[in-house]
Every structure is written in C-alpha cells, then in structure tokens.
Amino acid sequence: MKILLLGIGNLLFGDEGIGVHFINYIGEKYRFEGEPKIDLVDGGTLAQRLIPIIVEYDHVIIVDTINAPGVQAGEVYFFDFDAIPDTVDWQGSAHEVEMLQTLNMMDLAGDRPTTMIMGVVPTVIEATEFSLSEGVAAAVPLMEKTLLHYLKSMGIDAVKKAEVDIQAILPNSYRVLDAYCI
C-alpha cells in the first residue's frame, strides 16, 4: 500500500498555505518507519495537475483549509472524503481550482484512492506573506497528534528526528520543495 500526505495551499496567502507548511513541518520533524510507505508532497495550488500523482497511491491524506460556519479559526477537522460533515464547506479557498472539484473529477473516472481530509479553519487568507494566524498556528499540535495517531493505526511509526517550530520554517517553506515536491 502506498500513502500520500498531500499539502495543499498557496504560501503567499497566510493561513491558506497551512497544508504545505504542515507537511514541510512533519517532514522536517519525523521520519516514518513500517509498512505501508508514506510520501509527503507539496501540492501547492496545482489541483487537477495533481491527478496523475494521486492515482499512483492507494490512500491519500489531504491537508488544506476548510470553512465551517460558527467556529473559531484554528478548528481542526479530520474526516473521510466519502463522509464530508454537513457543516463543512470545502470551497472558497484561494486555490485557483478547488481540490474538491479535482477529487470529484477523479470519482467520475473511478480513479480516486481512499481519501482522508485534514482541514483547519483559517483566519488570514489575503495577506501576502509567509505567516500563519495565531489560531491556525495553535492548531498545529492537534493536527500533528491527529495525523500521527491515524498513521499509527495504519502501521506507520513516526520517529522524531528533530525539534521543529512551524513558525521558524515558514519563510523557507518554498525552498523545501526539493525534498518533497513533485
């Protein structure tokens, strides 16, 4: 089994980049042992251009921003794409083409792997800087704990290789592309 941890977002729009920042953070902090194998990929805002990559995997975990009415920035959701909670609106981000439409297109072709979504509610999606709001930065430990617990349930052990502060890696997230990018 092949697992893809796919970070989605635009690094230039503050919290909108959390998916990419988060996978860079996880990649800097952990190495993974056991079967199945996991790959970390910066999907940026490529959406439909990610289809040839996604179809190569049996299981994909997408990290992205989501919207939900009446909740605070930094709220974390983790759900199966086949059972999106009614309260979650996974549209309206700053992506050029939404990941939701990309996954729906893959469904039409019967090519979508099992898909889990880790979404966090953003605050800042219009700033043109490498930053995260206080609420989204505070959500990172819960996102990390949720991801590691889920991977453990799939037989993947995360071994910490370094202490990493996500705020410290933000200015260089775009440079990490050599390690994880397609």
Cα 35 to Cα 14: distance, rounded to the nearest angstrom: 35
Higher pLDDT: 128 or 148? It is 148
63-103 tens-digit pLDDT: 999 988 888 889 999 999 999 888 887 765 555 457 888 99
Q: Report H helices in the chain.
A: 18-29, 51-54, 99-109, 134-153, 166-169, 177-180
Confidence of residue 181 (pLDDT cuts 50, 70, 90): very low
Check whether 178 has a pLDDT greater than 60.
no
Exposure of 139 by Cβ count < 10 A (0-12 exposed, 13-18 middle, 19+ buried)? buried
Cα 23 to Cα 5: distance, rounded to the nearest angstrom: 7
95-138 tens-digit pLDDT: 545 788 899 999 999 999 999 999 999 987 666 777 888 899 99
Q: Report H helices in 76-133.
A: 99-109
φ/ψ of 151, rounded to 5, equals -65, -40
Instruction: Report yes or no: 120 and 143 within 8 Å, Cβ to Cβ.
Output: yes
What pLDDT sits at residue 169?
85
What pLDDT sits at residue 182?
43
Nearest CA among 117, 120, 119 for reference residue 74? 120
Instruction: Report yes or no: 65 and 90 within 8 Å, Cβ to Cβ.
Output: no
Q: 115 to each of 49, 63, 84, 111, how far by Cα in Å?
A: 17, 11, 11, 11
Instruction: Report yes or no: 65 and 21 within 8 Å, Cβ to Cβ.
Output: no
Nearest CA among 121, 110, 27 for reference residue 70? 121
34-49 tens-digit pLDDT: 888 999 999 988 888 8
Omega of the bond prior to 36 within 30 degrees of 0, cis?
A: yes
Q: Mean pLDDT in the chain?
A: 87
Confidence of residue 172 (pLDDT cuts 50, 70, 90): confident
